[in-house]
């Protein structure tokens, strides 16, 4: 029995020696190395593909960002920036003239508070200009015409040129939903076209400038029967569009360039919002009182 067991053990040792044969081990190691190399190649290629995909995404993002930054810079240098400064200078010229002559500008605050059709108005109160028609050679009338032809006309002409050249391609206007959420329909409806398209605000301003050109030309022909255009412009809304285009462009530029800082007149905006809210509250109470009296 022991002899048989010993023989079986010797046979097993021979089989193990056969398995551990150097040639067999070389083949086995070669197979393991081959499989390992294949797996390593697969994982390496998979990682490279992932890195290439991420690099492509980053490249596309960088390209989009650069294109957006280039567009914003073009907007600010070619259209929005000059438009903003010219329009604010125009506001200053008009406000300074009204202030010196003591003309009433409360109607702009009334338009802000009452809204609707009140937004559309002539640039001056016609009653303030009627004396210039009656006495065109008076000192005040001549000062008015000089202000218009020498100070206001160069400004509105340049504004008009910018609008006609770039409002269609470099003005990122609010969507119509955003527009009608900010203003009621009546406030933004053109009294001439019946359109609520945001572009009619600038279009009406442009028409106003051409009418003023015609009036100035008539002065050169000694016709002083008109002192201002009859075209009514939504001045406050027009000013708001100019501010919105400029502020949005500067905010975009700041997101792309950390060195850019944006100065926004938030203090006065908050004060104006508070004033309008209180004014509307008073007007609502007056309206309620009127209704109550009417129903008595």
Top-confidence residue, 194 or 108? 194
Percent of the chain with pLDDT over 90: 52
Q: Which residues pair with 120 in a beta bridge?
A: 234
Residue 295: pLDDT over 60: no
16-20, 45-49, 85-89: least confidently modelled range: 16-20
Cβ-Cβ contacts under 8 Å for 272 (sequence gap 6 or more): 112
Contact 117, 179 (CB under 8 A): no
Over residues 179-203, the mean pLDDT reads 95
Percent of the chain with pLDDT over 70: 76
Compute the distance between CA of residue 161 and CA of residue 247 in angstroms, rounded to an integer: 21
pLDDT of residue 94: 94
pLDDT of residue 103: 74
Compute the distance between CA of residue 263 and CA of residue 242 in angstroms, rounded to an integer: 15
pLDDT of residue 186: 94
Beta strands in 118-199, from DSSP E residues, in sequence order: 120-121
Q: Which two tokens stand for residue 284?
A: 């609502």
How confident is the model over 119-173, as pLDDT tens digits?
Answer: 999 999 999 999 999 999 999 999 999 999 999 999 999 999 999 999 999 899 9
Domain boundaries, the chain: 52-258
pLDDT of residue 25: 73
How confident is the model over 220-247, as pLDDT tens digits?
Answer: 999 999 999 999 999 999 999 999 999 9
Contact 124, 95 (CB under 8 A): no
pLDDT of residue 281: 55
Please provide the average confidence, as pLDDT, over all residues in the chain.
82
**pTM attached to this predicted model:** 0.71
How confident is the model over 42-83, as pLDDT tens digits?
Answer: 777 877 777 777 766 776 666 677 778 889 899 999 999 999
Residue 279: pLDDT over 70: no
Compute the distance between CA of residue 185 and CA of residue 191 in angstroms, rounded to an integer: 12
Confidence of residue 19 (pLDDT cuts 50, 70, 90): low
């Amino acid at each position: 029995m022991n002899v048989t067991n010993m023989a079986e053990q010797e046979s097993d040792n021979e089989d193990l020696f056969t398995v551990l044969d150097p040639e067999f081990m070389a083949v086995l190691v070669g197979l393991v190395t081959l499989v390992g190399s294949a797996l390593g190649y697969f994982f390496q290629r998979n990682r490279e593909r992932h890195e290439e995909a991420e690099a492509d995404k980053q490249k596309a993002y960088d390209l989009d960002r650069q294109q957006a930054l280039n567009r914003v810079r073009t907007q600010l240098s070619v259209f929005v920036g000059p438009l903003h400064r010219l329009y604010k200078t125009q506001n200053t010229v008009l406000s300074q003239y009204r202030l010196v002559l003591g003309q009433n500008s409360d109607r702009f605050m009334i338009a802000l508070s009452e809204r609707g059709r009140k937004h559309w108005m002539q640039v001056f109160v016609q009653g303030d200009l009627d004396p210039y028609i009656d006495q065109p050679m008076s000192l005040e009338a001549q000062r008015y015409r000089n202000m218009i032809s020498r100070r206001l006309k160069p400004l509105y002409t340049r504004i008009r040129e910018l609008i006609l050249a770039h409002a269609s391609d470099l003005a990122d206007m609010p969507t119509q939903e955003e527009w009608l959420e900010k203003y009621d329909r009546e406030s933004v409806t053109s009294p001439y076209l019946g359109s609520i398209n945001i572009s009619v605000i600038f279009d009406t301003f442009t028409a106003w400038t051409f009418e003023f050109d015609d009036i100035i030309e008539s002065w050169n022909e000694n016709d002083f029967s008109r002192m201002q255009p009859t075209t009514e412009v939504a001045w406050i809304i027009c000013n708001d569009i100019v501010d919105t285009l400029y502020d949005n462009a500067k905010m975009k530029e700041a997101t792309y360039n950390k060195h850019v800082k944006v100065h926004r007149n938030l203090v006065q905006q908050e004060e104006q919002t508070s004033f309008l809210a209180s004014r509307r509250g008073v007007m609502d109470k007056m309206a309620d009182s009127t209704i109550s009296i009417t129903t008595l």
